Structures are given as structure tokens and as C-alpha cells.
Amino acid sequence: MRRVYYLQSLIFIFIFLGILIMANLFAQQYHLRFDLTKEKRYTLSPQTVNVLKNLKTKVKVIGFFSSGSEREKAKDLLEQYRYHSRKFNYTFIDPDRHPLEAKKYNVTRYNTIVVESGEKREQIYEITEEKLTNAIVRVTRPERKVIYFLKGHGEYDIDNRGKIGYSRLKTALTDKGYIVKSLLLAKEAEIPKDAKLLVIAGPNKPLLSAEIKVIKDYIDRGGQVLFLLNPETGEELKDLLKEKGIILDDDMIVDKMSRLFGGDYLIPVIIKYNKNHPVTKDFNLVCFLPLARSIKIKKDLPKEIKAEILAWTSENAWGETDLKALKAGKALFDRKDIKGPVPVAVASWKEGENGFRIAVIGDADFLSNSYFQASGNGDFGLNLISWLTEEENLIAIPPKEIKSTPLVLSHSQGKVIFYLPVVVWPLLMLIVGIVVYFRRRKL
């Protein structure tokens, strides 16, 4: 009889364990989440869910965080993404403990998220649903936009890996999914039709009038151009830029503040940004522009053209107009000079039919290999290119408004909440236990 009892117990234990294992496996495969918060703070927007459900390729996200609240915030968001798609996965890497991994992904700051799909890769530095979803859209999109860099006038070479080359910028753009090519305009009657952006990076020889006409026609047809123009260059482009609302100044910026950062006074420090423009609204990094000139907006712009200054130097800088005295080391601020903060970057655009986008920066060195990774230089350049190629905001997702809802109790309610679990319930259980004990002793 006892043997049958043991056998039944053993069978029940195996059945119980089997049920537990099956329930665990079932829970791993099929699970549901419920967001009970009033603001639905743990629920992704319909746009994001749609992007995740239609993923054709695998997306891997690598978060470079040390431990802390930012890591937990990122984990909460990434877990929601993984819940909606089996093709989405993520991992975290501590850049202090694994510096080689950080170098492999070209990560230079904490709290960076790398979004990777196939050969495309993008970095984001702000942990928001909008930023992450747009990055996923960009790295998973099959088509690739083409960026042409003008050459033939002494421009910075995208294949030059030396200090004055642009190879780091080319690598960063390729990682973001762009196709980067050189363009010798003297051989072309027009800008190639697949061009999404033309970059004119520091020409030290004047462009021909026929080339300028080709560029003007391209802009008038709705093209996008980024002009990076060092001081004492670009004289032949003034009329074209003026027509689009931008004025090139004949000066060189002197900034005594740059000494505080260990730089030369001819390397102005950019610390003020336009918070209303997509290029710079979330940008707060310091940039260094070696040998820069000032850029202004033309007064009385045509109604269809809009222009905004994107960045300024500190108030301690000025635009020196006496370049001869500056080269002789005798420059001093006077009435003819441009008082700081000095504008160094301007964006101009037209919306509607044949709408164009152009940006002019009074320096080309800041994106060269020597300065690309100096503080925010590379990020500023990439932000400019994202806006010019209309990549800055593919999907707009408004941030969730998190309202504080404190629990307010009266004095008597507070007493009830304290005494009920701490005193009443334990005391009741003790009394019941004592009563049961004495009743059993009487049996």
C-alpha cells in the first residue's frame, strides 16, 4: 500500500513539473503586455509599431552605456521595440570596459545608441521613440541617396586619408547609407539626375562661370547644395548666394575665447545655436572652425525664400576685416569689424514647386580628418547633410506628456494604511495561531 502511495506521489510530482515547464515554454513564446499607466508611457506609437511589423531585414541596436538611469531608460524603450518584432534585437556595451568595441563602432561619447542593419549604421544620442524609429527607417530603406562632392578647384578630397582629406566624412556618410561620389563639373553639362546633394568643400580656385550656371540651374530645379567656403575664397559665388538670401563677408573671425580651449585665436569656438531650426534645435555641442569667415542673411528677402542663421561664435569674437593687419599680427577690433557673436552658418530654402535647400558655412576645415572628431564638428556636419537631403525627420512622433500624480492622504487615512498591515493583520494572525494551538492540545 505504501509503495502505491509513493508511486502516486512521484507521478504527481512529474506531472506538476511538466506543467511548470510547459507553462514556462508557452510564456516565452506567447506573452502579453499591458500598459496600465494613464499616459501610456510604455506603449509605442502606431507609426513605430507599423515600422516594426514591416521590417524586412534584421535590425540590431547596440547601446553604449555605463550603468545608470539613462541605461535603464534606454532598456525600457528597447524592450518595447523587441516585443513588437522578432527582427529587432538589442544589446548593451560598457564603453569603459570594452573600449575596442566602442572604437569598432566609432563611438566617442557615453549614452550612444548604434542602429545597424546590414551594412548601414547610424548613431543617435537622444533616447526618444522618434529618434530611434527614424534611425530604423533610414538603415532599413533599400534605396540609397547619392551625394556628389565637387572637385577640380582644389576642394577637399573625399578619398584623401591625410589630415586635410575628407575620408572620415565619407566613411560616416557611407555608414549612414549614402552613396558618396566625386564630380568633375567641367565634364558635365548638368548636375547628375541622381544627385540628392552637391557639396562644394573649400575650393581654393575660382569656379568657371559655366560651372556656376550649372549649379544655379540645379538649385532652381529644386536641388540641394552645401557650400563650405574658407575666407578669401568664393568671390565668384557671391551673386548666386546673394540671390538665395546669403551674404559672404570678406573677413576672418578672431576669437580670444578659443585660448580657453587650448586653441589658436583664429579657431573660433561655436557655442550658440538656432533652437528653432531642424539642424540645430537639439544640438548643444561645442564646435571649432579653424580659419572661418562670417556669413549673413540678406535683407529684404523675396517672400518665397526663407533664411536663418544656424550658429554663432561667442560674444568675445569678432570678424576682422583688415586681413593685412591680421596676417601681420596687428589685428584689433574697430568699427569696421563685425562684432560678436559672429554668425558662421546660414541655411536658405524655398518650399513648394522647385523648392531648394542650401547651407553655407564660413569654413571647410572643420570637417577635414584633423577636426572631424573634435567635439561636435562631425555631428554638426552630419546634421546639416541630413537636413539638406531631407532625412532630418522622416516620422514625427510627439513626446508623451508625463504628468505627476502624487497620492495625497489625510492624517486618518495615513494611520489606517500604517496600522492595518503593520499591527492589525500580524496581531490577528498571532491570535488565530494561539487559538488553534490550544484547541489542538485539547484533542
Closest CA to 144 of 216, 197, 221, 202: 197
Distance in angstroms (rounded) separating the CA atoms of residues 241 and 253: 20
Phi-psi region of 368 (alpha: psi -120 to 50; beta: other; left: phi over 0): beta
Task: Give the sign of the dihedral formed by CA 259, CA 263, CA 264, CA 268.
Answer: negative
Give pLDDT tens digits for 267-308. 999 999 999 998 998 788 899 999 999 999 999 898 899 999
User: Using an 8 Å Cβ cutoff, are 167 and 159 in contact?
Assistant: yes
Task: Check residue 364 and give its pLDDT.
Answer: 97
Q: Strands (DSSP E) along 185-294, which ranges?
A: 195-201, 224-228, 246-248, 252-255, 269-273, 287-288
Task: Count H helices and E strands in the chain, helices first.
Answer: 12, 18
**How far apart are the C-alpha atoms of 199 and 358, rounded to whole Å?**
10
Report residue 326: phi and psi, to 5°.
Answer: -65, -45
CA distance 150 to 212: 12
- Are 308 and 346 in contact by the 8 Å Cβ rule? The answer is yes
Whole-number Å distance between alpha carbons of 351 and 347: 13
Which residue type occupies 65?
Answer: F
> Quick one: pLDDT at residue 282?
78
Residues 6+ apart with CB under 8 A from 127: 70, 73, 74, 77, 111, 113
Q: In the prediction, which pLDDT does 443 show? A: 64
CA distance linking residue 437 with residue 347, whole number of Å: 85
Sequence-distant (≥ 6) Cβ neighbours of residue 130 within 8 angstroms: 393, 395, 396, 397, 399
Confidence (pLDDT) at 397: 65
Residue 231's nearest CA partner among 381, 380, 368, 365 is 365
Q: pTM here? A: 0.72
Which pLDDT score is estimated for 347?
97
| SS3 assignment, position 92 | strand
State residue 172's pLDDT score: 87
Question: How many residues appear in the chain?
Answer: 443
Strand ranges for 155-222 from DSSP E:
179-184, 195-201
∠ Cα 386 389 392 (to 5°): 40
* Cβ-proximal residues to 13 (8 Å cutoff; 6+ apart), any chain: none
Say how far apart CA 345 and CA 363 lie, in whole Å. Answer: 9
**Buried (b) or exposed (e) across 61-81, using 16+ Cβ within 10 A?**
bbbbbeeeeebeebeebbebb
Going residue by residue through the chain (443 aa), what tens digit of pLDDT does each one get? 567 777 877 888 889 899 989 888 877 777 677 788 877 778 888 888 988 988 989 999 999 998 788 899 999 999 999 989 989 999 999 999 999 999 888 888 889 999 999 888 888 888 888 889 988 988 888 888 999 999 999 999 999 999 999 999 998 888 777 899 999 988 788 999 999 999 999 999 999 999 999 999 999 999 999 999 999 999 999 999 999 999 999 999 999 887 776 678 899 999 999 999 989 987 888 999 999 999 999 998 988 999 999 999 999 899 999 998 888 888 788 888 999 899 999 999 999 889 999 999 999 999 999 999 888 899 899 889 989 998 765 656 666 666 677 778 888 888 888 888 888 999 999 999 999 988 887 76
- Which pLDDT score, from 0 to 100, does residue 165 have? 96
